[in-house]
Structure 1
Amino acid sequence: MREVWTLWENTRMVVLVALSAALYAALLIPFKVVVPIIPGFTELRPGNAIPIICSLAFGPAAAWGSAFGNLIGDFFGTLGPGSIPGFLGNFLYGYVPYKVWGRMGLLSSGKSPGVGSPRRLVEFLLAALLASMVCGVVIGWGLDTLRLVPFAALGNIIFLNNFIVSAILGPILMGLIYPRLERWGITWGKILGPRAATPSRFSWLGVSLLWLGAVSGLVLGNMISMGLYETGFLARGFGTGAVGEMGIAVGLLPSIVIILLGAALL
């Protein structure tokens, strides 16, 4: 994760942060008013494929670009306390794909990012699926805890919105854009060098924890919201299924911690 902080010392990576943020914001802003899903909080987002593509191409620059791009978009109608978990969730949305590529064991293609073969396409979809779940769980948990929107609504919408768009548009854009970026030498691995792209000793554990945290968070969040699972103890006595309930805030906290720990180990 060190490259996330040291990229600010590299002018080309800073430019890629700005480029990623501008692309993401430019595709988010027009849909803020035109196609809202939960007015004031989320909307149809065709631009959700951008952080996935930029992540695989620009690495850590896309993580910051996704976070800042979403924040810029929030200034056009959805800025508020929810922008804080929104910043973190979108940072992880741009962070996860490049960090898990090639590190998912037998599910990995063993090749550079792309969609030129069935195995690479499967790996692309898995990276997009994991990033979408992480983003949905983190933002859904954050806004429910802030008593703004129920997790069952927002968490699921963000997850599905992100993944469906990425699964449909992502492979097309990836096939068109990534080979050119690689030829031009502006992928993050070529800019920062092979040392920055070398996985840590605990990357396998980080990937495992991300999957565990994302899946458990999504499943538990829906179970708690529907009243099918009680967190008990500290959350006992609070209602189920409502926005701001302690069941979501406390019940999903372990999943959030697992996600953040997994991200830190990559």
Structure 2
Amino acid sequence: MKPGTLVKILAGAGAYALGLYLFNFFPPLPSNFRPATALVPGLGLFWGGAGAIAAALGNFLFDLRDEIDLGTPLGILGNLVFAYLPFRVAQRLPGFSPRPKLSTRWIIRYLYLALLGAAGCGTVIGFGLEGPRLAAFAVRGVGITLNNFITAGLLGWLPLLLAGAFARRGWVSPPESWSDSPRKKLGFGMMMIGLLLAFTLGALTSAGLIPSLADYGVGPTLSPAAAPIMVPGMALFLIGLILM
């Protein structure tokens, strides 16, 4: 690993963990509303894979303030996806730059990337908690997705603007060339279809709007089990993300 890459990982992780600690609070939403998550898409867009690792490490450092449980590895994976997915998909957008521009086209593209990252994060964490019936996907998965998208959509351009204004040469990773190979086309298609299937079926099943394939858990108040019907979509999503 190059020294510059290590510095990016440590700096990004430290900034994200500090932001989570300083600005974490609990409004009447189904998931913690964390303004610091606005940093995550920018970490991926500016620093690529190093930024994605920084987001995952920063979330882990924040979790160390409390006891480690199943949510810790899920948070690591979810934040990794939250940063990495916009970085990868941005390569399919000709001429896109992470530096904010006052144009409708740039805003729509950025919101599209932020939504994909937020949905990927929420789906991964929500599925992981839905499986052992620790939390209903309709509450946790959908809640995380909405909270992440709101913070990234409303506040995410601020860290991008600051990073673009003060970035020194070599601190912003150059955009990687996108070779539209059959493998990457297949990966992108699988990722999009898998994410749409897993999120939609998980939310509808958990909310009781479509029948569940299984019903397990403890207590009569639990929502219908959504994890079984999400498995094919999750498999498509993760395999597609790897192929991209």
Q: Does residue 40 of structure 2 align to residue 51 of structure 1?
A: yes
Aligned residues: 239
Bigger helix fraction: 1
Deviation at 1:223, TM superposition (A): 1.0
Contact 1:55–1:62 at 8 Å: present in 2 too?
yes
Amino acid at match of 2:78: G
User: Which ranges in structure 2 are unaligned for 5 or more consecutive residues?
Assistant: none
Q: Which residue of the partner structure matches residue 21 of structure 2? A: 29
Q: Which residue of the partner structure matches residue 170 of structure 2? A: 185
Q: 1:229 aligns with which of 193, 201, 210?
A: 210
Q: 1:173 aligns with which of 159, 168, 182?
A: 159
Structure 2 CA distance, aligned partners of 1:131 and 1:263?
12
Contact 1:16–1:61 at 8 Å: present in 2 too?
yes
Q: Deviations over 1:71-128 (max 9, x none)?
A: 111122363122122211111111111111031xxxx352332321322221111110
Deviation at 1:69, TM superposition (A): 0.8
Structure 2 CA distance, aligned partners of 1:158 and 1:82?
13
Q: Which residue of the partner structure matches residue 242 of structure 1? A: 222
Q: Does residue 7 of structure 2 align to residue 15 of structure 1?
A: yes
In percent, how many aligned pairs have the same letter? 32
Secondary structure of the corresponding residue to residue 134 of structure 2? coil
User: Which ranges in structure 1 are unaligned for 5 or more consecutive residues?
Assistant: 1-8
Structure 2 CA distance, aligned partners of 1:16 and 1:30?
21
Q: 1:157 aligns with which of 132, 137, 143?
A: 143
Deviation at 1:180, TM superposition (A): 3.3
Structure 2 CA distance, aligned partners of 1:28 and 1:186?
23
Q: Does residue 88 of structure 2 align to residue 99 of structure 1?
A: yes
Q: Which residue of the partner structure matches residue 198 of structure 2? A: 217
RMSD between aligned residues: 2.4
Q: 2:116 aligns with which of 130, 138, 145?
A: 130
Structure 2 CA distance, aligned partners of 1:159 and 1:264?
21
Structure 1 CA distance, aligned partners of 2:154 and 2:242?
29
- Bigger drift between 155-164 and 168-177 goes to 168-177
Q: Which residue of the partner structure matches residue 198 of structure 1? A: 177
**Residues 224 and 78 from structure 1, CA distance in 2 versus in 1: closer, same or farther, beyond 3 angstroms?**
farther
Structure 1 CA distance, aligned partners of 2:8 and 2:221?
41
Structure 2 CA distance, aligned partners of 1:76 and 1:64?
19
Q: Which residue of the partner structure matches residue 60 of structure 2? A: 71
Contact 1:225–1:242 at 8 Å: present in 2 too?
no
Contact 2:202–2:227 at 8 Å: present in 1 too?
no
Amino acid at match of 2:66: G
What's the TM-score once normalised by structure 1's chain length? 0.81
Contact 2:118–2:145 at 8 Å: present in 1 too?
yes
Deviation at 1:143, TM superposition (A): 1.1
Structure 2 CA distance, aligned partners of 1:231 and 1:114?
44
Secondary structure of the corresponding residue to residue 91 of structure 2? coil
Deviation at 1:38, TM superposition (A): 7.6
Q: Does residue 211 of structure 2 align to residue 259 of structure 1?
A: no
